[in-house]
Structure 1
Amino acid sequence: MLKHINTVAYCKTVLLGLLILSASIFSPAVYAQDANAISTDPAVIQQGEALFKANCKVCHAVNEQVVGPALAKVYERQNMDWIIAFVRNSQKVIQSGDPYAVELYNKFNKTEMTAFDFSDDEIKSIIAYVKQETENPTVAAPVATATDGATPAEGSASAGMSSEYFYIILVVLFVVLVLILIVLGLIVSVLTKFLNQQGNLDEADKEIVNSKTDLGAFMKSKAFVGFAIFIFVTLVAKTAVDGLFSVGIQQGYAPKQPIAFSHQLHAGQLEIDCNYCHTGVRISKSANIPSANICMNCHSIVKTGPQYGEVEIAKIYKAVETNTPIEWVRIHNLPDLAYFNHAQHVEVGNVECQTCHGEIQTMEVVQQHALLTMGWCIDCHRKTDVNTADNGYYDKLVELHNESSKSPMKVVNIGGLECSKCHY
């Protein structure tokens, strides 16, 4: 009997242990810990990096303070639920009286953080990227120099210098011709002197050897006049043709803007992503010029600058206060007969801004970098591979292309030279 009682007690003890173990396994605390876990998946980190650079980078850096605090180890200062709530609506968290949020708000001059309508997974991916950068900071790659190879835009732009090369060739040919004439003159002079010293020439030979060149008669000869007319007509025709081909081309155009905005400072030194100001570049036909409200996202706090001080920034304040649009001067302007879609090239084609606009992050004053001619576009379509990765739209086209060619599918292979694509 005692043996059975001990057995029952033992079973109850085991059962109680199993219940405690089950409770610990399925408890909300464990799930909360899993929910707060930061992913190390490279795909998640890559997604977070893209979101961070497009939305957060203008005010935050991981390992240094910018407009807002450095985000390194933010996941250790607050739990994931707090971070998600703050990113979605920082003012709501602050108004709730949260001590840390209030302290942060006061410390950074009561700057209101933009509310972002991100999903939980998107915010977690940003934190995954922040953790990756905290533990393994990215080392900036050196900027490519001219010796590293020209971009397609640079190569195409150099093709527009044919007129310069033409005149250089003409000058070189003229110099060579003059040198040949000098050498021939010296040879004639030496031979004339030598023959006269021989003393065995008859009168007819002496007359030929000692005859003087009549420059006036030579210049009036039909051969010289015809040659001169040919050179003159050729130069005039070449100048006229170059002038016709340059109509509408504004390469190098760099107008003075109403506010001296420095891309070298903002896009280069501060590394503000182009998409932050030009919000339509990935979703619209036009990249759009940023409104003064976008400027004020930063300049409500930043009221001075290393180059221009308060003078240029004061112009932004005046535009906002008087509700007057800033009259920026347009630099890149395609004719109405040509269709160009920024979203198609930037979002789908992954074309970098620098391909068409040059090293914009180094420009103090922005200028038109590329020719932006029909020939320039066609040349790019002939050379550029279509970005088909993870895009089911191209699967059948890639399959058909691979049946007839071993080279990568280029824009020209999918109708990139059809007139109606650009002239609708």
Structure 2
Amino acid sequence: MNSNRLRSLPHLLLAILLTLAGAQQATAQDASASTATVSKAGVTPGATAGATPATAVAPAAGGADAAAIQAGDALFKANCTQCHAINEQVVGPALGGISKRRPITWIIPWIKNSSKLIASGDEYAIAINNKFQKQQMPSFGLSDKEIISIVAYITSQEGQPAAAVAGGVTVQNAGSTDGKASDASADGAGAGKYVDILLIALVVVLIVMVVTLIIIGNLMKDVLRGRKDLDGRDNEILEQRFDWGKFYRSPVLRGIVGVVFALVLLYEGVQSVMAVGLTQGYQPTQPIAFSHKLHAGTNQINCVYCHTSVYKGKSANIPSANICMNCHSQIKTESPEIKKIYRAIERKQPVQWVRIHNLPDLAYFNHSQHTQVAGLQCQTCHGPIQNMEVVYQYSALTMGWCINCHRESPLNTKGNAYYDNLVKLHDTKNAGAPFTVSSNGGTECSKCHY
């Protein structure tokens, strides 16, 4: 037999394996394309904390335009849904028909400062306060225009099913721990499930074919060993074995292994030194089992309702016990965890929450500058907070992490004359490059260390 035929056998097996691998990859790409098509057709990622799926704004009611109703929709979800629903009573009264029960001249001062209106002796305000066990409503820093837009939104939603109106904390959903996925998400999950099954089947088929080819190769060798027309070269190829001992004793291999081992030790040592003081992933046990997944995720309570200084303070404050009691004076009052809040109030002691996100004293950081001015969302730094049962430090919070963000984040300069000359100078020297925080001096040492 010609020895070239023996030499070509491994190449034939390799070609078959590469063909099968290419077919598997093409199938996976087709499945990914199908999933992308489903996504474009309506499957969207989950909503973030404090955000709700877009709902169709009802036609303008009571003379209010659609823009006012849309603005009222956002304000209502951010400030009111924690205690109120439109068509059902929860912590506070149902708000449907409020514009018919009271004039706007009464509603505005009530929302701005309900305690002041009660103290003035207003009979309706006193009756509402007594009916709901004198539960004080927080004072909101809303303008008259914003309050009017909220009332317009409430009016537009009156009489609609509860599912169509943005839901907040209710007696019915207060005990839930997980939100239900939408039908579109379920369809997407089903499509992904079938893709996984198909890929598993292809892998199994590939393994079976590889084993079959190995068996066929061994059978062919056995047949060839019985041939008498093979010359010495053919027999040498047929009986050749890989010398693992020689390979292991090779000085080249030992040198490579030694260098790799030394590099790994050096890398781990440098990483250990660089990680001193870093607490990424830190997840302490809190004195009260508070679930952000339940409050910010399932019940969609806006972050600013509890962390009231998130848009106006140097740091985002830890909520006081009275904010918790706005809801839990009537919801889950028998819960062992809620009773811990009652005890803290009775003893006039704050809840001893464990701080998670810490920055060194040598670094200056202003929370409101990033949320109010830069417009960053909570998830940018804190990760998927709406999915966390127990909060942990999501980001590294290192100097390099901050600098990279400043280098990559474009600065919104539209409508601000302060930046006009700076943008012109930047575009002159850096044509085509975006005007980032770093372009405005955001990576200078004195910005954070002074």
Shorter-chain TM-score bucket reads: 0.5 to 0.7
Give the drift of 1:332: 1.4
- The verdict on how the C-alpha distance between 1:262 and 1:392 changes in structure 2, with shifts beyond 3 A counting, is farther
Partner of 2:364: 339
Structure 1 length-normalised TM: 0.66
Match for residue 444 of structure 2 among 401, 405, 418: 418
Quick one: which amino acid aligns to residue 276 of structure 2? V
Give the drift of 1:226: 2.5
Q: 1:22-421 maps to which residues of 2 (within 5 A)?
A: 40-41=64-65, 44-45=68-69, 48-49=72-73, 51-91=75-115, 93-94=117-118, 100-116=124-140, 118-134=142-158, 222-304=251-333, 310-402=335-427, 405-406=431-432, 408-421=434-447
- Tell whether the 8 Å contact from 1:339 to 1:423 is kept in structure 2 after alignment: yes
Aligned residues: 343
Cα-Cα RMSD:
4.2
In 2, the alpha carbon distance for the partners of 1:398 and 1:333 equals 34
Comparing 254-263 and 380-389, the one that deviates more:
380-389
Comparing 136-145 and 86-95, the one that deviates more:
136-145
Q: Secondary structure at the match of 1:114?
A: coil
- Tell whether the 8 Å contact from 2:136 to 2:326 is kept in structure 1 after alignment: no
- Tell whether the 8 Å contact from 2:87 to 2:94 is kept in structure 1 after alignment: yes
RCO greater where, 1 or 2, for CA within 8 Å and sep 6 or more? 2
- Tell whether the 8 Å contact from 1:58 to 1:272 is kept in structure 2 after alignment: yes
Give CA-to-partner distance per residue, 1:364-415, whole Å, 9 cap, x none.
Answer: 1111122222332233223222233454443443454455534543222212
Quick one: which amino acid aligns to residue 261 of structure 1? F
Give the drift of 1:261: 0.7
- The verdict on how the C-alpha distance between 1:231 and 1:113 changes in structure 2, with shifts beyond 3 A counting, is closer
Give the drift of 1:217: 7.5
Identity %: 52
Comparing 97-106 and 333-342, the one that deviates more:
97-106
- The verdict on how the C-alpha distance between 1:394 and 1:133 changes in structure 2, with shifts beyond 3 A counting, is farther
Give CA-to-partner distance per residue, 1:64-109, whole Å, 9 cap, x none.
Answer: 4331123233112221122124324435555677564454334433
Unaligned runs of 5+ in 2: 1-60, 168-180, 189-213
Give the drift of 1:53: 4.4
Give the drift of 1:319: 1.2
Give the drift of 1:350: 0.6
Structure 2 length-normalised TM: 0.62
Q: Secondary structure at the match of 2:335?
A: helix
Q: Secondary structure at the match of 1:381?
A: helix
Give the drift of 1:343: 0.5
Unaligned runs of 5+ in 1: 1-36, 149-182
Quick one: which amino acid aligns to residue 299 of structure 1? H
Give CA-to-partner distance per residue, 1:148-181, whole Å, 9 cap, x none.
Answer: 9xxxxxxxxxxxxxxxxxxxxxxxxxxxxxxxxx
In 2, the alpha carbon distance for the partners of 1:81 and 1:56 equals 19
- Tell whether the 8 Å contact from 2:280 to 2:393 is kept in structure 1 after alignment: yes
- The verdict on how the C-alpha distance between 1:139 and 1:118 changes in structure 2, with shifts beyond 3 A counting, is closer
